[in-house]
Structures are given as C-alpha cells and as structure tokens.
C-alpha cells in the first residue's frame, strides 16, 4: 500500500492527549505513528516522517535532548514541541535546540492543526493530501466535496470521510472495527452496523447497481474494500 499522505510521528506519554492527537491528525488525513518514550521515538525515527510532534517531559528523559541530537545528525525533519512548560525562557530553549515551533498545553486543536499545515508547507511538503480519484469516483479534501464524473454527491461529513478513506486505500480490505477506528476515531463508541449503514448510503451514491457493487466491494468474513479497478 503506497503511503501518499504526510506521515507524522507523535511522541507523547500522556495517553489522553495522544489519543486526541491521533484522532484529530488521522481525521485530517495524515498518517500517524505514535511513540510513548524517547527510546521508542529513536526507534521510530529510523523511518522517514514528514513532521514530529514532540512532548518534552517523557518517562525516560527530555524531548529537548532528542531534538538536539537530531539536529546534530543534520536531520531537517520539522519538529513541533508540545509541552506544559510555558515560561518564555523554556520556549527559547526549545527553539534554540532546533525545534521549528512550540505549542503550550492545553492547546486548541484547530490551532495545532494549522501549525502542522504551516510547518509541512514550509518544509516544501504538501500541506495535506490532495484530491483523490479511482475510476470515475473522486473526492477533494480541500473543498470537502466528492462525486462521480460530473456529478457531485450530497453527503454528510462522515460519509465523505469514509469515501475519502476508501479512495486513499484502494484494493485493501478493512474490517468494520478498523473502519470505526480510522474513520470515526478511537474515541467514538460506535457499533459495527454504523459502518454497514454508511456503506449502504455510499453505495446508493457511487454504484450504478447497488445490489451488484463495482466500487465498494464486500469481502466476506472481513469487511469492505474499494476496488482498484472498478
């Protein structure tokens, strides 16, 4: 499965904040990996990421040391520090060791997401995943619209999120629980039939014949898959 969405590494030991970040970033279309300590972050950083959100107070040390070490290695990965330390000299220290930006907890999620977009743009990477298309089906996350050919669907935000998710991961089968987690978010206490009812509504829009779906296929014993070659 090719990963086209920007990849963000979240280093945060507070499970509640980690979950909020994970849900908000995924809902914005980013690929997210999480680390709960400096050690696991160092391991994760063996792979490429487009941005790192870094907490400072971690169980095995100070995030500033990781930041300093990465810059010493010449790695230009954009780093956004996320911390409860709000004294001005603390902010300066963070920026001095090579962080690109600094957000103090508790933070306002829309502001944090705006800063993430700014950093990605500044780094010359895409500010967010662009329009996607499979066959005649298309969806545009910027304008929050989707359709088929010249037709634009009238749909709820969640139906659009689900369709975007399928379009970004064609050819792969997803279980209902995976879809609940990735599209509704892990804080959503939903039921599997919620997925079925959304798929039914999507099929009514995207399929020529909803009883014989070409786009959103049922994978028996698993869940659903968007066909790569409808």
Asked whether 165 and 179 are in contact (CB, 8 A), the reply is yes
Q: Does 55 bind Ca ion (CB under 5 A)?
A: yes
Could you give the angle at which helices 15-27 and 109-122 cross, rounded to 10 degrees?
A: 60
Helix (H) or strand (E) holding 24: helix 15-27
Q: For residue 110, what are the CA distances in angstroms to 28, 49, 65, 117, 175?
A: 11, 21, 28, 11, 30
Q: Position of tokens 């970040």?
A: 21
| Nearest residue relative to Ca ion (C-beta) | 57
In whole angstroms, the minimum distance from the beta carbon of 9 to Ca ion comes to: 15
In whole angstroms, the minimum distance from the beta carbon of 91 to Ca ion comes to: 16
Q: Which of 159, 161, 158, 133 is nearest to 148 (CA)?
A: 133
Piece of 21-29, 51-59, 128-136, 143-151 that binds Ca ion (CB under 5 A): 51-59
- SS3 at position 216: strand
Piece of 28-36, 53-61, 95-103, 210-218 that binds Ca ion (CB under 5 A): 53-61
Question: Which residues have CB under 8 Å from 182's CB, separation 6+?
Answer: 26, 165, 174
Measured distance CA(22)–CA(8) in Å, rounded: 10
In whole angstroms, the minimum distance from the beta carbon of 57 to Ca ion comes to: 4
Q: Which pairing describes strands 57-58 and 101-104: parallel, antiparallel, or unpaired?
A: unpaired
* DSSP 8-state class, residue 181: I
Q: Does 23 bind Ca ion (CB under 5 A)?
A: no
In whole angstroms, the minimum distance from the beta carbon of 11 to Ca ion comes to: 9
In whole angstroms, the minimum distance from the beta carbon of 31 to Ca ion comes to: 23
Determine which residue in the list 57, 61, 76, 130 makes contact with Ca ion, applying CB under 5 A. Answer: 57
- How many residues touch Ca ion (CB under 5 A)? 3
In whole angstroms, the minimum distance from the beta carbon of 83 to Ca ion comes to: 8
Nearer to Ca ion, 11 or 202 (CB): 11
Nearer to Ca ion, 55 or 161 (CB): 55
Measured distance CA(164)–CA(61) in Å, rounded: 39
Piece of 55-63, 88-96, 167-175, 179-187 that binds Ca ion (CB under 5 A): 55-63
Nearer to Ca ion, 53 or 199 (CB): 53
Piece of 47-55, 198-206, 208-216, 220-228 that binds Ca ion (CB under 5 A): 47-55
Q: Does 13 bind Ca ion (CB under 5 A)?
A: yes
Residue numbers at the binding site for Ca ion (CB under 5 A): 13, 55, 57
């Amino acid at each position: 499965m090719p990963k086209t969405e920007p990849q963000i590494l979240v280093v945060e030991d507070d499970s509640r904040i980690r979950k909020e970040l994970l849900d908000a970033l995924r809902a914005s279309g980013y690929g997210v990996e999480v680390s709960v300590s400096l050690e696991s972050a160092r391991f994760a950083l063996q792979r490429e990421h487009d941005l790192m959100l870094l907490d400072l107070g971690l169980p095995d040390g100070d995030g500033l040391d990781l930041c300093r070490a990465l810059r010493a290695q010449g790695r230009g990965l954009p780093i956004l520090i996320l911390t409860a330390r709000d004294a001005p000299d603390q902010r300066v220290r963070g920026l001095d060791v090579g962080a690109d930006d600094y957000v103090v907890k508790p933070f306002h999620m829309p502001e944090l997401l705006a800063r993430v977009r700014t950093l990605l743009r500044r780094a010359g990477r895409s500010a967010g995943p662009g329009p996607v298309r499979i066959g005649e089906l298309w969806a545009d996350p910027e304008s929050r619209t989707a359709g088929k050919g010249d037709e634009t669907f009238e749909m709820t935000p969640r139906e659009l999120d689900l369709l975007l998710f399928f379009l970004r991961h064609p050819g792969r089968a997803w279980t209902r629980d995976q879809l609940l987690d990735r599209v509704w978010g892990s804080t959503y206490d939903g039921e599997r039939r919620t997925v079925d009812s959304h798929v039914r509504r999507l099929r009514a829009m995207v399929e020529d014949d909803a009883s014989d779906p070409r786009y959103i296929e049922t994978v028996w014993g698993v869940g659903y898959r968007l066909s790569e070659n409808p």
